[in-house]
Amino acid sequence: MISISITAVGGRDRAGIQARPASPLRDVVSIAGRALRAVPREPEAIIPPVFIALFFFVVNIGTLQHLTQSHIKGFDIKAFMLPTAILLGVTGVSRAGSLVTDIQDGYLDRLLLTPVRRLAILTGHMVADVAIACALMVPIIGLALGLGVRPAAGPVGVVLFLLMGCLWSLAFAGFGYAIALKTGNPAAVNSSFLLFFPFLFMTSSYVPRSQLSGWLSVIATWNPVTYVLEGLRSLVTLGWQWASLGKALLAITAVGVLSMTLCLAALRGRTRRG
Amino acid sequence: MSLLQTGQNPGPPAVSSSAAAASEMTGTGSAAIRAERLVRRFGEVTAVDEVDLDIHRGEIYGFLGPNGAGKSTTVRVLCTLLSPTGGRAVVAGYDVATQPEKVRLRIGVALQEAALDPKQTGIELLKLQGRLYGLSRAEIRDRLADLSQLIDIGDALGRPIGTYSGGMKRRLDLAAALIHNPEVLFLDEPTSGLDPVSRARMWEEVRRLNAELSMTIFLTTQYLEEADELADRVGIINGGRLVAEGSPAQLKRSVGNDLIIAHVDGRAEAARRAVEPLSGVRSVEVRGEEMVITAVDGAATIGAVAVALAGVTPVRHLTLRTPSLDDVFLEYTGNRFSGSQIPEGDGRPGGPDNSKRQRDLVEVGS
């Protein structure tokens, strides 16, 4: 049997405590805080991407190290594969799945009934995503350093490497949120990561672009992931290559503009009251 | 169309000057909720069809209707989750279409399905709710202390909501709706799924919120007795239209003083002809083998009815009772209420076949 108290509620504070709009920053921090609190309760959302990234990193090195050492003088396969592992790890990491759950549970309606800014619901989740992506990169980079990789751009380059990884993660996460808000379907959101696979493999993920041939070379040239990989790779293997970094940031921006445009349109559609 | 003022309302309670000013500005006077020819369509389907409401500050208003009648859609429009397709609605002094942010600051809503995040703990959910309403840490702490008696789930507040029972979720949902001291509280079928004891206690809580805080409460329900117990006034919605409105007592009086229910074994039409001419009988309605006889004074009439029926057909049961809200519902919609099992058939979602007796809003005065 359920017990409900019949004591009066809140009478003494009726006049004193009143709702008021929170600041935009507080809105974002509140939503992000909730998203981050959920992370340790959902290890299944975090462990697989880290495992897959580490797995492919180690296996690819084991597969190609002997071949590359014997045929390409001075080539460091571990440094070369690090950006590939990073993109595998952080791409598709987002709280879009939990947003779908919010839609299905009606919790999104509860949020929409509060004065919270609609954009803050999205940006709060994305802020959490950036924090998660950053945390995911740490063990991968740690393993690479442990295996002897020494980033050519130094410690500042590692920071930029992390930042670019986070920005890429955020840019790609926009697709997941767009699908989540548009469909409210968890299966559709989960499959959004599959969209990324062709883009990752039709690029210079395993060999330099100069070694690609025919149609694959053409596709890789137009594939923005190629430039993200090359920008990240330049920090590890070459040092400060401004052209590569510029192209990488441009590619991230282009993908981000596309995904965020879709995402904001989906948010407008989901929160439209008409 | 002007709506009935029942005169039962204790009058507008003290309100903040800003809210009063807003009310003046929007011309809502003492109304906590006012809707004028409110319409909400989904494509070709009209879910809310020119509904007028005028609900005073401090009033408990029961919104009664079967599934699909338009109750929840009306609530979702009034609490700004949906825009009206036509007409206008003002809640707590602000227009729901043009000033939704101001409305949201002043309302609390417990939706039909407890809208909770199963992975958060109860305390996390309430604190987040408080932050989104702009409350400071100290204010949230104070409100949690105020609401702790209502929530009354002890240590479970620190557990994930997914582990809560249905009743615990309902109470937490209500507490979340109250965290910011709203002026107007929308409760969409708040006791749905609760056992009778929990339901009675929830009713008590609703009464106390209204009595001690002068909180305006808009309550939708499928339970007739809930509307009867709680509401100062009741609106009956059917097929998206408000078909009757008044205090429960007024609505009951409107369908006759007393009802004599007779179950006969055949020859019902002949029985009707025998009963209709009797002195004191206002009307006779036959549904299958059930006769519903409306009488000015049932006690004085039932004897004559029994004699008249005995001469025509065997009578299995003969019952005298005062009208219930179910009779009101029957009168104005042409269907027994019987919980959520109202047959469909008027082309609107969930709307009953009310072609015989459907009428425009009936204003029931004293």
Spatial CB neighbours of B205, under 8 Å, sequence gap ≥ 6 = A4, A5, A6, A9, B150, B174
Q: Inter-chain contact A6–B133, Cβ cutoff 8 Å?
A: no
* Set of chain B residues whose Cβ sits within 8 Å of the Cβ of A12: 146
How many residues would you count in chain A?
Answer: 274
- Please tell me the predicted confidence (pLDDT) of residue B338: 52
Nearest partner of B68 among B282, B359, B280, B348, judged by Cα: B348
Q: Inter-chain contact A9–B146, Cβ cutoff 8 Å?
A: yes
Model confidence at A153, in pLDDT bands (50, 70, 90)?
very high
* Set of chain A residues whose Cβ sits within 8 Å of the Cβ of B131: 22, 26, 30
Q: Which CATH class is domain B18-246?
A: alpha beta
Over residues B110-138, the mean pLDDT reads 92
Model confidence at A274, in pLDDT bands (50, 70, 90)?
low
Of chain A, the percentage scoring pLDDT greater than 90 comes to 64
Distance from CA of A39 to the nearest CA of B (A): 10
- Please tell me the predicted confidence (pLDDT) of residue A10: 39
Average pLDDT, chain A: 88
Nearest partner of A91 among A14, A7, A236, A199, judged by Cα: A199
Q: Inter-chain contact B180–A116, Cβ cutoff 8 Å?
A: no
- Please tell me the predicted confidence (pLDDT) of residue A140: 93
CB A90 within 8 A of CB A49: yes
- Please tell me the predicted confidence (pLDDT) of residue B113: 79
| 10-39 in chain A: CB under 8 A from chain B | 10-15, 17-22, 26-27, 30, 33-34, 37-38
Instruction: Choose the CATH number for B254-336 among 3.90.950.20, 3.30.70.1710, 3.40.50.2030, 1.20.140.10.
Output: 3.30.70.1710
Over residues B155-173, the mean pLDDT reads 89
How far from the centroid of its chain's Cα atoms is residue B64's Cα?
4
What would the pLDDT profile of B35-46 be if each residue is shown by its tens digit?
999 999 999 999
Pairwise CA distance, residues A37 & A32, whole Å: 9
- Please tell me the predicted confidence (pLDDT) of residue A141: 94
Q: Is the pLDDT of residue B351 over 80?
A: no
Which residues make up the CATH 3.30.70.1710 domain(s) of chain B? 254-336
- Please tell me the predicted confidence (pLDDT) of residue A42: 86
Of chain B, the percentage scoring pLDDT greater than 70 comes to 82
Q: Is the pLDDT of residue B1 over 60?
A: no
When CB atoms are compared, the residue of B176, B178, B198 closest to A9 is B178
- Please tell me the predicted confidence (pLDDT) of residue B4: 32
Q: Inter-chain contact B81–A112, Cβ cutoff 8 Å?
A: yes
Sheet strands side by side (includes B362-363)? B107-110, B184-188, B216-221, B60-64, B233-238, B241-246, B362-363
In a domain, A7, yes or no: no
Over residues B178-206, the mean pLDDT reads 87
Over residues B282-299, the mean pLDDT reads 87
- Please tell me the predicted confidence (pLDDT) of residue B130: 97
CB A4 within 8 A of CB B172: no
Pairwise CA distance, residues B222 & A181, whole Å: 32
**Residue bearing the bigger pLDDT, B6 or B61:** B61
Q: Inter-chain contact B213–A18, Cβ cutoff 8 Å?
A: no
When CB atoms are compared, the residue of A19, A105, A106 closest to B180 is A19
Model confidence at A156, in pLDDT bands (50, 70, 90)?
very high
Model confidence at B356, in pLDDT bands (50, 70, 90)?
very low
Q: Is the pLDDT of residue B293 over 50?
A: yes
Model confidence at B170, in pLDDT bands (50, 70, 90)?
confident
When CB atoms are compared, the residue of A11, A22, A106 closest to B113 is A106
- Please tell me the predicted confidence (pLDDT) of residue B349: 34
Q: Is the pLDDT of residue B352 over 50?
A: no
When CB atoms are compared, the residue of B124, B128, B149 closest to A9 is B149
Helix (H) or strand (E) holding B187: strand B184-188
- Please tell me the predicted confidence (pLDDT) of residue B171: 87
CA dihedral (B98, B101, B104, B106) positive or negative: negative
- Please tell me the predicted confidence (pLDDT) of residue B335: 66
Distances, alpha carbon A108 to alpha carbons A111, A112, B151, B226, B231, in Å: 5, 6, 22, 29, 30
Q: Is the pLDDT of residue B3 over 70?
A: no
When CB atoms are compared, the residue of A34, A105, A116 closest to B118 is A105
Distances, alpha carbon B71 to alpha carbons A145, A154, B50, B65, in Å: 62, 64, 13, 7
Q: Inter-chain contact A109–B116, Cβ cutoff 8 Å?
A: no
In a domain, A232, yes or no: yes
* Set of chain B residues whose Cβ sits within 8 Å of the Cβ of A20: 105, 133-134
- Please tell me the predicted confidence (pLDDT) of residue B193: 76
Judged by DSSP in three states, A240 sits in: coil
Pairwise CA distance, residues A187 & A179, whole Å: 10
Q: Is the pLDDT of residue A34 over 70?
A: yes
- Please tell me the predicted confidence (pLDDT) of residue B2: 33
- Please tell me which residue of chain A has the smallest CA distance to B113: A106
Average pLDDT, chain B: 81
Q: Is the pLDDT of residue A245 over 90?
A: yes
- Please tell me the predicted confidence (pLDDT) of residue B124: 96
When CB atoms are compared, the residue of A2, A34, A106 closest to B194 is A2
Model confidence at A178, in pLDDT bands (50, 70, 90)?
very high
For Cα atoms A264, A268, A269, give the angle at the middle one, nearest 5 degrees. Answer: 115
Q: Which of B109, B117, B127, B132 to mutate to test the interface with A (most CBs of A within 10 A)?
A: B132
How far from the centroid of its chain's Cα atoms is residue B196's Cα?
18
Number of domains in chain A: 1
Over residues A200-221, the mean pLDDT reads 85
**Residue bearing the bigger pLDDT, A71 or B285:** B285
* Set of chain B residues whose Cβ sits within 8 Å of the Cβ of A4: 150, 152, 167, 171, 198, 201-202, 204-205
In a domain, A109, yes or no: yes
Containing domain of residue A96, as a range? Answer: 22-271
Please state the pTM of the whole predicted model: 0.79
Q: Does A43 touch chain B (CB under 8 A)?
A: no
Q: Inter-chain contact B81–A37, Cβ cutoff 8 Å?
A: no
Distances, alpha carbon A261 to alpha carbons A172, A218, A255, B43, B117, in Å: 12, 27, 10, 27, 28
- Please tell me which residue of chain B has the smallest CA distance to A118: B101
What would the pLDDT profile of B55-102 be if each residue is shown by its tens digit?
999 999 999 888 888 999 999 999 999 999 999 999 999 999 999 999
What would the pLDDT profile of A105-125 be if each residue is shown by its tens digit?
999 999 999 999 999 999 999
Distance from CA of B201 to the nearest CA of A (A): 6
Q: Inter-chain contact A3–B209, Cβ cutoff 8 Å?
A: no
Of chain B, the percentage scoring pLDDT greater than 90 comes to 46
Q: Find residue B48's DSSP bridge partners.
A: B40
When CB atoms are compared, the residue of B83, B120, B171 closest to A4 is B171
Sheet strands side by side (includes B31-42)? B45-56, B31-42, B86-91, B94-95
Distance from CA of A87 to the nearest CA of B (A): 29
